[in-house]
């Protein structure tokens, strides 16, 4: 009993002392963090992402004129909202120690205390789940309870048995996730907030992305990737091209670009050789190409500046934390809570292709 109490006390103490640090490490460890603008103090009320457009107005000097031409500037903005996520963790120290001991037998292993190791592994898993699901997440954390009197269409969300499910196959009335599991998908990991991929798709459908900013590339393959990305670059206005920025693509699209570049140029020295990066030809290295693991297998190309893709959390408040640790018969349970949200600051400087 003394051993269990000591182990439990160490786990409890570490969680209490370092909860914000552990959650910060998890958030910072996600692949997309260096590739987007991170706002770390977004409250539950959200944060305005302001946009100021300065209008034209230069003219020849005329001492008789004292009135500007029209308005000097227009203000607008989109709002970044963050939503609460959580994970309930159950750990049996004796089972965890077996894995821990195995890790410490590795000749390159670091000397990490058991309690610290437990929490770091849990946080790494949370970070992986967020990273792998963020792009196509679709906020439905408030999904209505399943109604046995209703038939559901593909894409509908319901809350059933404390889990949010997404309908994958049209149902008849009464066909619940329990009675017809093949017609439903556990969607808990993709409904915490809406990701950039979902926001883009919704803006295309709603007309928020102008037609000129939606460029038809068709499917991007090993035989056309370089040409298709150049097509998108040439489809931008001169003003937006001069801003510089990044073409964000999923790993498969990035590899297709590399393969098509190799086929096109062979071993001839290109503008990007030497710094390990890829650039759009003709952009003077103003526009880079970035592989984004968090985009999954998407065929979408997102062309904009890093700061235009915003990710919000709240590291200053009292929500990002490890909650009360509860002793159980063989171990303990705890809850980890955080806030997350995605937004696009300015649709005018965003260009995308016609692939989902």
pLDDT per residue over 318-337, tens digit each? Answer: 556 776 777 788 778 888 88
* Position 13 in a domain: yes
* Position 229 in a domain: yes
User: Which CATH number goes with the domain that contains 149?
Assistant: 2.10.10.20
- Answer yes or no: do 40 and 130 share one domain: yes
* Position 60 in a domain: no
- Answer yes or no: do 12 and 127 share one domain: yes
Mean pLDDT across 33-51: 90
- Answer yes or no: do 126 and 12 share one domain: yes
For position 267, what pLDDT does the model report?
A: 63
- Answer yes or no: do 179 and 285 share one domain: no
DSSP 196: H
Q: Which of 191, 206, 233 is the last residue of a domain?
A: 191
Do residues 241 and 286 lie in contact, with contact meaning Cβ atoms separated by under 8 Å? Answer: yes
Is pLDDT at 92 greater than 80 in this prediction?
A: no
Query: Which of 26-30, 69-73, 240-244: highest mean pLDDT?
Result: 240-244
* Position 52 in a domain: no
For position 134, what pLDDT does the model report?
A: 96
Q: Which of 159, 191, 223 is the last residue of a domain?
A: 191
- Answer yes or no: do 116 and 179 share one domain: no
* Position 201 in a domain: yes
Do residues 321 and 339 lie in contact, with contact meaning Cβ atoms separated by under 8 Å? Answer: no
| pTM, 2 dp | 0.84
Do residues 88 and 335 lie in contact, with contact meaning Cβ atoms separated by under 8 Å? Answer: yes
Q: Exposure pattern of 218-249 as b/e (b: 16+ CB <10 Å)?
A: eebeeebbbebbebbbebbeeebbeeebbbbb
Query: Which of 73-87, 270-284, 300-314, 329-343: highest mean pLDDT?
Result: 300-314
How many structural domains are present in the chain? 3
DSSP 143: P
* Position 277 in a domain: yes
Binning pLDDT at 50, 70 and 90, where does residue 115 land?
A: confident
Binning pLDDT at 50, 70 and 90, where does residue 128 land?
A: very high
- Answer yes or no: do 209 and 179 share one domain: no
Task: Write the Ramachandran bin of 345: left for phi over 0, alpha for psi from -120 to 50, otherwise beta.
Answer: alpha
Q: What residue spans of the chain are helical by DSSP H?
A: 2-28, 93-104, 114-133, 196-206, 225-234, 238-243, 251-265
- Answer yes or no: do 319 and 304 share one domain: no
Alpha-carbon distance of 324 to 336, in angstroms, equals 9
- Answer yes or no: do 33 and 162 share one domain: no
- Answer yes or no: do 90 and 109 share one domain: yes
Alpha-carbon distance of 87 to 129, in angstroms, equals 11
Average pLDDT along the chain: 86
- Answer yes or no: do 90 and 38 share one domain: yes
- Answer yes or no: do 20 and 116 share one domain: yes
Note the pLDDT tens digit of each residue in 164-186: 999 999 999 999 999 999 999 99
* Position 266 in a domain: yes
Scan for tokens 């103003």, then name that residue: 286
Share of the chain above pLDDT 90, in %: 59
Residue count of the chain? 356
Is pLDDT at 259 greater than 90 in this prediction?
A: yes
Query: Cβ neighbours of residue 228 under 8 Å, at least 6 residues apart?
Result: 217, 218, 220, 301, 353
Binning pLDDT at 50, 70 and 90, where does residue 285 land?
A: very high
* Position 66 in a domain: no
Do residues 191 and 138 lie in contact, with contact meaning Cβ atoms separated by under 8 Å? Answer: yes
Range of the domain at 179: 140-191
- Answer yes or no: do 186 and 170 share one domain: yes
> Closest by alpha carbon to 90, among 17, 11, 30?
11
């Amino acid at each position: 009993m003394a051993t269990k109490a000591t182990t439990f006390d160490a786990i409890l103490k570490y969680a209490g002392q370092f909860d914000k640090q552990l959650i910060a490490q998890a958030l910072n460890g996600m692949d997309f963090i260096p590739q987007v603008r991170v706002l770390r103090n977004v409250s539950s009320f959200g944060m305005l992402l302001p946009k100021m457009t300065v209008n034209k107005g230069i003219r020849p000097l005329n001492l008789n004129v004292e009135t500007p031409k029209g308005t000097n500037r227009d203000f607008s903005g989109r709002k970044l909202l963050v939503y609460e996520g959580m994970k309930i963790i159950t750990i049996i120290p004796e089972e965890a120690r077996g894995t821990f001991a195995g890790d410490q037998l590795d000749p390159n292993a670091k000397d990490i205390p058991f309690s610290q190791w437990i929490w770091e592994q849990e946080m790494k898993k949370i970070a992986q789940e967020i990273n792998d699901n963020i792009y196509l997440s679709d906020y439905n954390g408030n999904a209505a309870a399943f109604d046995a009197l209703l038939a559901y269409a593909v894409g509908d969300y319901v809350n059933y048995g404390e889990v949010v499910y997404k309908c994958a196959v049209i149902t008849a009335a009464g066909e619940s996730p329990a009675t017809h599991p093949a017609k439903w998908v556990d969607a808990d990991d993709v409904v915490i907030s809406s990701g950039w991929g979902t926001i883009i798709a919704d803006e295309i459908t709603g007309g928020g992305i102008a037609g000129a900013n939606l460029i038809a590339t068709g499917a991007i393959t090993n035989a056309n990737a370089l040409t298709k990305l150049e097509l998108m670059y040439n489809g931008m206005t001169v003003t937006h091209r001069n801003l510089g920025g990044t073409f964000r693509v999923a790993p498969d699209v990035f590899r297709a670009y590399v393969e098509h570049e190799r086929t096109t140029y062979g071993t001839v020295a290109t503008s990007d050789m030497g710094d390990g990066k890829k650039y759009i030809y003709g952009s003077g290295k103003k526009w880079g190409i970035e592989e984004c693991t968090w985009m999954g297998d998407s065929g979408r190309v997102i062309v904009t500046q890093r700061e235009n893709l915003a990710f919000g959390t709240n590291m200053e408040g009292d929500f990002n934390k490890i909650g009360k640790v509860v002793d159980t018969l063989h171990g303990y349970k705890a809850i980890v809570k955080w806030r997350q949200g995605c937004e696009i600051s300015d649709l005018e400087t965003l260009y995308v292709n016609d692939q989902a």
